[in-house]
Amino acid sequence: MPNDADFAGLHVASLESRRGDDMRRLIERHGGVPHVSPSMREVPIEPNRAAIDFAYRVMTGEISTVIFMTGVGFRFLMRSIEKHVNTQRFLDSLSDITTICRGPKPVAALREAGVKATHRIGEPNTWREILRYIDDHKLAVANQEIGLQEYGISNASLVAGLEARGASVQPVRVYGWDFPEQTDPLRENIQALADGQRDLLLLTSAHQIVNMMRMAETMGITDQLRSGLRTTAIASIGPTTSQMLAECDLHADLEPSHPKMGHLVVESARRSAQLVAAKKRLKETDEKIQQSISFVTESPATAEKHPSHDSLFLKACRGEPTERTPIWLMRQAGRYMSEYREVRAKQSFLELCANPALCSEVMCTAVDRLGVDAAIIFSDLLPLLQPLGFDLEFVAGDGPVIHNPIRSSDDLTRLKRLDDPQSLGFVYETVRQTRADLPEGIPLIGFAGSPFTLASYAIEGGGSKVYTNTKKLMYESVSQSGGGAWAELMSTLSEAITVYLNHQIAAGAQCVQLFDSWAGCLSPIEYSEFVLPWMNQIIAGIAPGVPVINFATGNPELLPLLRGDSRTVVGVDWRIPLPVAWDRIGRDKSVQGNLDPAVLLADPDVIRTRAADLLDSVAGRKGHIFNLGHGVFKETPVENAIALVETVKELSAR
């Protein structure tokens, strides 16, 4: 094993059950202090009348396809039915129908019984890969009875995805996960995690998370555990486990390159110093973020439920049914409107951003003229950088320029924390003014740049096509203790963004959006390692109950990484069909998007056709907010933008 894979005496928790001894040895071999406590045991459901009925339906031809999620599940299924049906006839029936196996283990279990699986889903073996495989291989599931061998808790996303493809799903549970017979070690480990006495937590199964949270509930320390886990580095063996973390409003800081225990331990050890240092910085900033959350809850602007709470837009954010699809447009107050150009001609862009009355005027004018269902404050991504020590200028013809970019660790001496959030008071006043000027039923959206986009501006000194300096600083951090300059810059930006957005909420914003304009230059691996932990930190720190729209452009492969927490809405750009994007994200999430802004340069008939196609493609799904896949082009005729809004209102009425 590589010499740099060293936990260096850190305390490492694991909830591994079957291979607890192997996990303990691996942690010790790589210099960690192991705290391994079994968290679960497989318990067959006995007697299992549903499994027997399921077997008969397979044998009589009522079920045409069976999806096997686990090898142990197939074995438990056979055990459940062996005394009640002719097992050879059941196996022969399985051989005659389509069988889909999630990974190699159910394939091997079927092979042991003499059945050759029809299809095997490749890594990372999540429910998304199952649905994608069905789509890519054009498997016939519409109007079919699909058997689904479940394990532990039901996978609602997979069931919903199959039903959306026209299948009738017949789930069968054959075993569950119970606590181990001896629970004292598990209780001790969970209490230590809650008390902040573990540096890292290694997870190899989604059900470890479920049982950890169940046990914490029985111990009465759920909130304390969540607090402790927030500042504990969490390594997840793969996407299924990471998704369960997200569903519990927790976040993985690392996934190994391969979903194997050895890779999990080695790669966690290799990056342990960086991960733990980042969590220590997070602990230091938590107090400041908690102060900003308190500022929100104590603010008169949010003391009571706002009249826009039941608006179409906020209902869609929450995934609730709406009588039609809500619509607003990114950059809806901009250079394509004559009213904006008249205001802009009298001052520089930064001067306009610093004038709350004019910012409110241009936005309220746009909302009134377009007839949209939500407003977003008129501001820019970059003024946040100024109180952090950056010399920002908007240069005619060149756009924003940072005159003192960060290129090395030495440059960090001039990086400041946002110790005085009121240095951005003109933005909060813009929120208050716009909120006061808007109709009460129209929600107001605050926003900030995401940390990667702000970091790329701060490092490159402006826009870029290849982000050479940004990626250089990013990759230099891999070999640096604590993550080096990249981690310090991202930590500072993430703290500032969180506090900044909470102050906007306190001033009267009902929703906030994070813009990651340059994230498309990153691969999913790069995003997961260098950006996702900071995004998770920001979303977790935003005042509870406030919808957060997470919008990143340029690379549809990043979409599953944008899910955030339970109140996150995922913004989608125009580079991917919306239903495909939604399936990748998960149908349990609300989405925003995603008409190509260039369509608004076309004739009204084309606009109507393209808008209708987009609406039809996601018809019947809850939680869609119609928007462009990016901002309105300056060349767009304002009449075309109005026509789009009217078209969406007309065609989406239910």
Give the annotated binding-site residues for substrate. Answer: 331-335, 380, 457, 517, 630
Catalytic residue positions?
A: 331, 335, 344, 380, 457
Per-position DSSP letters for 120-170, written without gaps between them: EE-TT--HHHHHHHHHHTT---TT-EEEEEE-SS--HHHHHHHHHTTPEEE
Dihedral angle computed from the Cα positions of residues 266, 267, 271 and 273, in that order, rounded to the nearest 10 degrees: -30
Do residues 605 and 639 touch, judged by C-beta distance below 8 A? no
Closest listed residue to residue 455, CA positions, set 446, 447, 464: 464
- The set of residues, in sequence order, having a beta carbon less than 8 Å from that of 76 and lying 6+ positions away, is 42, 44, 45, 174, 175
User: What are phi and psi for residue 513, nearest 5 degrees?
Assistant: -125, 140
CA 580 to chain centre: 16
Do residues 216 and 186 touch, judged by C-beta distance below 8 A? no
Rounded to 5°, angle at Cα 74 from 68 and 78: 140
CA distance 159 to 168: 9
Exposed/middle/buried for residue 549 (C-beta within 10 Å: 0-12, 13-18, 19+): buried
CA distance 82 to 55: 10
User: Which parts are annotated binding residues?
Assistant: 331-335, 380, 457, 517, 630
CA distance 138 to 414: 56
Residue with tokens 């409107």: 337
